[in-house]
Amino acid sequence: MGTASAMPVRDRNQSAQVLHVHERLFLIDCGEGTQGQMVRYGVPMMKLDSIFLSHIHGDHVFGIFGLLSTLGMKGRTAPVNLYAPANFGPILKFFLSYYGEGIGFEIRFNPLKMSAPEVIYETKSLSVSAFPLRHGIETFGFLFREKEPQWNVRKEAIPQYGLTLTEIGAIKRGEDLVRPEGVIPLAELAYKPFVPRSYAYCSDTAVFPEEEEWLRGVHTLYHETTYLDELAEQAQLRNHSTTLQAASLALRAGVSRLIIGHYSSRSRDIAAYQAECRTIFPDTVAASDGDVFEIGK
């Protein structure tokens, strides 16, 4: 929904992403104009399950108030889970005190306050963890992980082995089939429907040592690259990352794919960001507004 940093530019909105997982929609950050982008790209905002805000800088939160108001005008009644740093609480309270009358749904505010990765949201198939970033103010990243699926019993195995309901239940839990005549290995009876996928969101932050371990083995990592390498001093002063810093982190953490964004408004050519990252981490993609990525492919 947006790949710009502090100021929007002609073809870049401010930070926002929508993640679609098992028919649930999750909004990550909500820069100014996010609801307009959702309309433009056909994202059904009424189907939002939860909202995750990394920090309270305006380019990551100024769109939340219009979005919540629109959901109210559209007649939403289902609660919205909202996860954000604790210092967003007074801001939300101020908004609701002036504009909350028309909001007919519950906003379940969950303040983030942790010093290491911690699960903040969970369903039968997904867990979401938050972890602190390094940005000068309280800022958090988010890691979405699919849980291990149950085993699927092969259809042909049911009549072949005369499986009972009890045996089918045990096989789905990952157990071998034990019978008096011997053991039938699980692999002959069932298969995993998919390999669990993971997605991490890190914006805004300077790269720091713990980040590498916390992101170890993630399939797809979104990491800010506000600056090209020539502006490394600016990145350090403002607690942001450069292209080469993000790419080096992705390499050390063993992620499968790196998506970059949050480009400085002074830079018009995002191809330069991608090219610098690829000198270290070839599987890097520089995101543009409206891009759609499939995690795991």
Rounded CA separation 121/291 (Å): 26
pLDDT tens digits for 168-184?
999 998 889 988 888 99
Percentage helix, strand, coil, to 5, in the chain? 30, 30, 40
> Does a structural domain hold residue 296?
no
Co-location of 113 and 246 in the same domain: yes
Its domain, for residue 216, covers: 16-149+194-286
> Do 141 and 159 fall into the same domain?
no
- Range in 106-110, 232-236, 258-262, 263-267 with the lowest mean pLDDT: 263-267
Same domain (yes/no): 281, 270? yes
Residue 152 is predicted with a pLDDT of 87
Mean of pLDDT values over 106-121: 96
- With a pLDDT cut of 90, the percent of the chain lying above it is 82
Give the pLDDT band (50/70/90) at residue 297: low
**4 within a domain of the structure (yes/no):** no
Domain CATH code at residue 31: 3.60.15.10
User: Is residue 60 one of the residues assigned to a domain?
Assistant: yes
Mean pLDDT of 224-245: 95
Query: Is 66 a domain residue?
Result: yes
Q: Distance between CA 68 and CA 102 in Å, rounded?
A: 10
Last residue of a domain, one of 163, 190, 217: 190
Judgement on whether residues 164 and 135 belong to the same structural domain of the protein:
no
Question: 89 with 235, same domain?
Answer: yes
Domains in the chain, number: 2
- Shared-domain flag, residues 89 and 43: yes
- What is the average pLDDT score of the chain? 94
Distance separating alpha carbons of residues 61 and 55, to the nearest angstrom: 8
- pLDDT the model gives residue 149: 83
| Domain presence at residue 200 | yes
For residue 64, the surrounding DSSP H or E stretch is: helix 64-73
104 shares its domain with 234: yes
- Percentage of residues of the chain with pLDDT beyond 70: 100
Q: Is 285 exposed, middle or buried (0-12, 13-18, 19+ CB in 10 A)?
A: middle
Residue 278 located in a structural domain: yes
Q: For residues 131 and 102, is the Cβ–Cβ distance under 8 A? A: no
Do residues 200 and 162 both lie within one domain? no
Evaluate whether residue 2 is within a structural domain. Answer: no
Binned at pLDDT 50, 70 and 90, residue 268 comes out as confident
Averaged pLDDT for residues 209-224: 96
Instruction: Say whether both 178 and 238 belong to one domain.
Output: no
Query: Could you list the active site residues?
Result: 59
* Residue 69 CB neighbour total at 10 angstroms: 16
Residue where one domain finishes, among candidates 190, 219, 251: 190
Nearest Cα neighbor of 160 from 192, 184, 191 is 184
Of 227 and 101, more confident: 227
Q: In this structure, are 133 and 262 located in the same domain?
A: yes
Note the pLDDT tens digit of each residue in 69-101. 999 999 999 999 999 999 999 999 999 999 988
Average pLDDT over residues 109-121: 97
Quick one: 166 and 275 in the same domain? no
Report, as an integer, the average pLDDT of 147-165: 89
120 and 166, same structural domain?
Answer: no
Quick one: pLDDT at residue 255?
A: 97
* Tokens found for residue 46: 């009424």
Q: Evaluate whether residue 164 is within a structural domain.
A: yes
